[in-house]
Amino acid sequence: MAYTDIDNPLDYFNTVLYTGNNTSQSITGVGFKPDWVWCKSRNDGNNHNVFDSVRGVTKWIETDNTNAEQTASNTLTSFNSDGFSVGDHGEINGGNDTQVSWCWLTGTSFTNDASGTSIGSIDSAGSASDASGFSIVSYTGTGSAGTIKHGLSSAPKMIIAKDRASGSLSWFVGHASLGFTKRLKLDGNNDAADNTVWNNTNPTSSVFSVGSSANANTSGNAIIAYCFAEKQGYSKFGSYIGNGNADGTFVYLGFSPAFVMVKNTSAAENWIIFDNKRPGRNLTDALLKPNLNNVESTSGVKFDLLSNGFKARVSDAEGNSSGHTFIYMAFASNPFVTSTGVPATAR
């Protein structure tokens, strides 16, 4: 029996906390050279800042608004073997600000000339880790429905895309539990809505689809997409129904979670992120919200992070409304059982 595809999730994902010094510093302890770094100040109302190795250092996009990609030499200045370096930019290194950084590895670069390979119809380039099921894909929109190579060998369960050139277009999210006839907005609290951004087509093992929607396919605009396929014992992208009480719905993952992002798809509620480093114990109540630049909050939904999943411990519209559907993306700190049969324990 295969319990997990990845015995050590820390080889591919890690959360690192640090304190800003308003000058420059190297953030270490990640355990690998990250390709996607998502930074947020916990005690200051700064934006969520996303960096990746495909777009290159000093370039960031903010998840809590529709702003176009920005560039500044004093932001994330390098991806290093055990983390990354930052300059004196106040958003990610303000003096005495407590910061969280969520870090993912891809590692293998690819380019695809669609006409030459007959894979997809829109050229793409990026970086992918087939082992962990994560790829970063850059492409230029055509304005016409098409397909794009994602660099993985299995179909993504979740895709997050942003037009890098536009300051008015939202981040669009597709999720297998909703079906790719619908979309969510990462920068908004909107409930799930019908939309042709994914051309009403589920991703395949080689490509994902886009319609003529401006958000993921504006003609001539550079677009970035983050694609996630599921890996047993390491990542899961699913849904649950809230029950509206303190003995919340148990969500089985097959691993002890290090990171979970949740969205109520039935109502206009905020996205929430919780992880195993903030506050580092159960109940986990230190929430950040990708669609808001708010400081970290301990009011609202609270979760237990368990050896094989998670469970809401209060009734709250953002994570446990009775009868509402919630989608999630989750990454492991430990598989429930390793490939050699060793069980994980709850913290």
**Domain presence at residue 287:** yes
Whether 248 and 324 map to the same domain: the answer is yes
The model's pLDDT over 139-166, given as tens digits with 9 standing for 90+, comes to 999 999 999 999 999 999 999 999 999 9
Q: Give me the sheet containing 158-163, strands edge to edge.
A: 108-112, 124-129, 134-140, 222-228, 158-163, 172-175, 182-185, 193-194
Number of domains in the chain: 3
**Domain presence at residue 285:** yes
SS3 for 76? strand
**What domain range is 92 assigned to?**
10-104
**Domain presence at residue 248:** yes
Residue 203 sits at the vertex; the CA angle it makes with 140 and 252, to the nearest 5 degrees, is 125
Q: Which residues, at least 6 apart from 224, have a Cβ–Cβ distance to it below 8 Å?
A: 52, 54, 55, 61, 136, 137, 138, 161, 162, 164
Q: Which residue, among 312, 309, 327, 320, has the nearest Cα to 258 in the 3D structure? A: 309
Whether 270 and 330 map to the same domain: the answer is yes
Query: What distance in Å separates the CA atoms of residue 146 and residue 18, rounded to the nearest whole number?
Result: 42
CB 216 within 8 A of CB 161: yes
Compute the mean pLDDT over every residue in the chain, rounded to the nearest whole number: 95
- Output the six-digit token pair for 347: 């913290």
The model's pLDDT over 321-333, given as tens digits with 9 standing for 90+, comes to 999 999 999 999 9
Residue 46 has pLDDT above 50, yes or no: yes
Residue 1 has pLDDT above 70, yes or no: no
Q: Give me the residue label for tokens 């960031």.
A: 60
Neighbour-count burial of 220, counting CB atoms closer than 10 A to its CB (0-12 exposed, 13-18 middle, 19+ buried) = exposed
Percent of the chain past pLDDT 70, that is, above it, reads 97
Give residue 306's identity as a one-letter amino acid code: L
**Domain presence at residue 347:** no
Q: Which long-range contacts (CB under 8 A, 24 or more apart) does 339-342 make?
A: 339/2, 339/3, 339/4, 339/7, 340/7, 341/3
